[in-house]
C-alpha cells in the first residue's frame, strides 16, 4: 500500500506541471493499479483463490488496454517488415500484463528482492525512455522508481516492512504497462527489449514452469526451487543472494539498453550475438545451480562427455 500511495500522491503533485503527458494512459495505469492493489490486499488478508486473483488481474489489464496501451505491432527481424496483430493485439497485451504481474510476485521470496529487481527494471525503462524522448514514460518511471527506493530503504534485509501481494502485484503491473507504453513502436524486435528488461522474473517463471513439467508436477504447485532458493541452498547468505540477483538483473538491463541501441543502428548480427550469448549463459547458469533439476542437466552433461572424449583421445595419442 505504501508503494501505491506514494506513486499516486507523487503523480498528482507533479503531473499538472507536465504539458505533454498522456493523461489517458496515466489514469488507466492508476485505475488499473488501484484494482491490482485491492486484489492483492484482499489476498493478503483473506487468501483469495487463484481464479479470483486472475479475474481481478484481467480486469485491471482491460482498464489499461481501454486507455490505449496495446501491443499492436510486431516488427520482423532481418528486414523492415511490420506485422499488425489486429484481433490478437488485445489478448496478447492482457496476457503480457498478467504474466509480468505474476512473474514479479513469484520472485518476492526474500527481503528486498522484488523491490530491488523492479527498481533496476524501472531504471532501465527510464534510461530507454529518455533516449526515445517519451515524456509520459519518463515521468511515470521516475515516480515509480522513487516509490520503490523509498520502500526498499526499509524492505532490504533485515526488513522492517513487507510489500505482500498488493505491492508485488502492483510493481509487476506497472512494469508490464510501462514496458508496452515505452517500446511497442520500437524499430526492430519490438517485444525483445521489454523481455530483456524483465529477464530475471520472466526467466525464473519460465524455469519454474519447465521444472514442474520435467518433474511431472502441476504448474500451479509452489516449490522451493526458484532462483533465490537455489542460491541459498548453495550456501550464500540472504543478503548476498539478493545482491547476486541484483547483479543479474543489472546485466539484463544493460543488455536491453545495448539491444535498443543496436536496433536503432540496425546492427542485426550484433543483436543476434548478444542474444545468443545471454541465452547460453542463462542456460548454463540454470543447470549449474539446479534450478530446473538437480539430476537432469543435459547441456552440462554433454560438455562433460565431450571433455571426457577429448581427454581419452589425448591419452591415446600419447
What integer pLDDT is reported at residue 263 of this predicted model? 63
* Torsion (CA) 282, 89, 33, 140 in degrees, nearest 10: 70
What integer pLDDT is reported at residue 22 of this predicted model? 81
Residues of the chain whose pLDDT is less than 70?
A: 73-84, 182-191, 263-268, 317-318
What integer pLDDT is reported at residue 58 of this predicted model? 96
Helix axes 164-183, 135-155, angle to 10 degrees: 150
What integer pLDDT is reported at residue 168 of this predicted model? 94
What integer pLDDT is reported at residue 56 of this predicted model? 95
Number of domains in the chain: 1
Residues 6+ apart with CB under 8 A from 279: none
Query: Which residue range forms the structural domain that includes residue 263?
Result: 2-317
What gap in Å lies between CA 125 and CA 55, rounded to an integer?
28
Contact between residue 139 and residue 15 where contact means Cβ atoms under 8 Å apart:
yes
Name the average pLDDT for the chain.
85
Amino acid at each position: 500500500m505504501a508503494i501505491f500511495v506514494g506513486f499516486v500522491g507523487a503523480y498528482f503533485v507533479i503531473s499538472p506541471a507536465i504539458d505533454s503527458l498522456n493523461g489517458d494512459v496515466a489514469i488507466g495505469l492508476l485505475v488499473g493499479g488501484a484494482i491490482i492493489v485491492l486484489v492483492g490486499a484482499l489476498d493478503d488478508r483473506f487468501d483469495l483463490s487463484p481464479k479470483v486473483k486472475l479475474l481481478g488481474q484481467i480486469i485491471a489489464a482491460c482498464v489499461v488496454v481501454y486507455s490505449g496501451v496495446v501491443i499492436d505491432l510486431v516488427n520482423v527481424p532481418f528486414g523492415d517488415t511490420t506485422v499488425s496483430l489486429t484481433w490478437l493485439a488485445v489478448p496478447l497485451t492482457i496476457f503480457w500484463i498478467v504474466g509480468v504481474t505474476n512473474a514479479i510476485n513469484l520472485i518476492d521470496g526474500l527481503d528486498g528482492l522484488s523491490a530491488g529487481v523492479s527498481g533496476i527494471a524501472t531504471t532501465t525503462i527510464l534510461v530507454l525512455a529518455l533516449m526515445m524522448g517519451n515524456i509520459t514514460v519518463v515521468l511515470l518511471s521516475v515516480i515509480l522508481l522513487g516509490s520503490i527506493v523509498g520502500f526498499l530503504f526499509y524492505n532490504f534485509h533485515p526488513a522492517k516492512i513487507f510489500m505482500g501481494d498488493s505491492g508485488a502485484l502492483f510493481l509487476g503491473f506497472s512494469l508490464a504497462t510501462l514496458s508496452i507504453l515505452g517500446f511497442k513502436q520500437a524499430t526492430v524486435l519490438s517485444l525483445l527489449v521489454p523481455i530483456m528488461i524483465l529477464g530475471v522474473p520472466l526467466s525464473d517463471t519460465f524455469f519454474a514452469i519447465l521444472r514442474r513439467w520435467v518433474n511431472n508436477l502441476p504448474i500451479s504447485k509452489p516449490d522451493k526451487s526458484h532462483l533465490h532458493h537455489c542460491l541459498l541452498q548453495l550456501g550464500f547468505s540472504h543478503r548476498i543472494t539478493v545482491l547476486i540477483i541484483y547483479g543479474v538483473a543489472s546485466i539484463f538491463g544493460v543488455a536491453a539498453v545495448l539491444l535498443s541501441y543496436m536496433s536503432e543502428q540496425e546492427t542485426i548480427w550484433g543483436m543476434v550475438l548478444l542474444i545468443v550469448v545471454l541465452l547460453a549463459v542463462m542456460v548454463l547458469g540454470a543447470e549449474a545451480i539446479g534450478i530446473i533439476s538437480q539430476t537432469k542437466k543435459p547441456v552440462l552433461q554433454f560438455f562433460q562427455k565431450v571433455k571426457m572424449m577429448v581427454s581419452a583421445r589425448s591419452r591415446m595419442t600419447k
